[in-house]
């Protein structure tokens, strides 16, 4: 499969899993011990979350005596006024499998297809969670196959995130502050990671030069 401009367009135009907010079954394990438990799941800083979801476990599974569904409640805001634009309130089914060493593994039942999944996704511009298959989400790695620039960009972003204390993933073509050493990381380890960032930047620069050469060649031909 090629880059964004090649291959099957239905895959190339849908978001990737990395572009979506993700709700993992691990995130809600504390609410599945018994029915009636409530709490909050969020992304980003607690004081200024990107999205906050009120979670409430409901019902009871006859097999495990654990809740058989979650109630998700959250709202969106008007970007200009900051006022609540729309509220969402719906249920997501739960399923369980017994672990070899005791206890249970919790799963979601996708709200759209009921398939048992470990993660649900909310794509950019979307406001309901669903599974990867229902949303036709792709993986960034598969979309960069055969595209040197995309592969170099992905390598740079991953290397930068490992070396940076804030896990930033800037674009190699932008002006960005250098990686900042994470607290507790050995200096030698940080230097190795920073070297990876520099190498990845060089690869992206080389790929950009080659792309420009090919473009000029086509224009002149």
pLDDT at 191: 92
Q: Compute the mean pLDDT over every residue in the chain, rounded to the nearest whole number.
A: 77
For 221, the token pair is 């031909």
Q: Length of the chain, please?
A: 221
For 147, the token pair is 């595209």
| 3-state SS track over 143-207 | HCCCCHHHHHHHHHHHHHHHHCCCCCCCCCCCCCCCCCCCCCCCHHHHHHHHHHHHHHHHHHHHH
pLDDT band of residue 3 (cuts 50, 70, 90) is very low
Q: Per-residue pLDDT tens for 134-167?
A: 887 765 454 445 567 777 887 888 888 888 888 7
Higher pLDDT, 12 or 111: 111
Residue whose C-alpha is closest to residue 38's, from 60, 58, 55, 22: 55
- What are the start-end ranges of the E strands in 18-148? 21-24, 38-43, 51-58, 69-77, 84-98, 104-109, 116-117, 119-122
The answer to which of 12-16, 93-97, 199-203 has the lowest mean pLDDT is: 12-16
Q: Please say whether the beta carbons of 22 and 126 come within 8 A.
A: no
Q: Please say whether the beta carbons of 70 and 94 come within 8 A.
A: yes
Residue whose C-alpha is closest to residue 52's, from 77, 17, 25, 15: 77
Residue whose C-alpha is closest to residue 40's, from 70, 16, 13: 70
- Residue 49 pLDDT greater than 70, yes or no: no
- Write down the pTM of the prediction: 0.54
Q: Please say whether the beta carbons of 60 and 35 come within 8 A.
A: yes
Q: Please say whether the beta carbons of 11 and 153 come within 8 A.
A: no
CA distances from 10 to 66, 119, 136, 141 (A): 39, 22, 8, 16
SS3 label, residue 26? helix
């Amino acid at each position: 499969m090629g880059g964004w401009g090649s291959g099957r367009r239905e895959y190339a135009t849908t978001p990737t899993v990395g572009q979506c907010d993700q709700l993992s079954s691990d995130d809600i394990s504390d609410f599945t011990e018994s029915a009636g438990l409530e709490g909050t799941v969020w992304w980003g800083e607690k004081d200024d979350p990107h999205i906050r979801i009120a979670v409430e476990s409901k019902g009871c599974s006859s097999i495990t005596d654990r809740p058989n569904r979650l109630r998700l409640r959250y709202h969106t805001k008007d970007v200009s006024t900051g006022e609540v634009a729309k509220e969402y309130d719906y249920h997501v089914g739960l399923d369980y499998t017994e672990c070899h060493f005791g206890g249970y593994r919790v799963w979601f039942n996708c709200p759209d297809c009921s398939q048992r999944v470990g993660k649900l996704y909310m794509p950019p511009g979307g406001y309901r969670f669903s599974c990867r298959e229902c949303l036709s989400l792709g993986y960034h790695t598969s979309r960069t196959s055969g595209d040197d620039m995309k592969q170099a960009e992905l390598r740079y972003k991953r290397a930068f995130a490992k070396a940076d204390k804030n896990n930033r993933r800037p674009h190699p073509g932008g002006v960005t502050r250098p990686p900042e050493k994470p607290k507790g990381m050995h200096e030698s380890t940080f230097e190795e990671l920073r070297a990876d960032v520099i190498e990845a930047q060089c690869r992206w620069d080389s790929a950009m030069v080659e792309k420009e050469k090919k473009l000029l060649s086509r224009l002149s031909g």
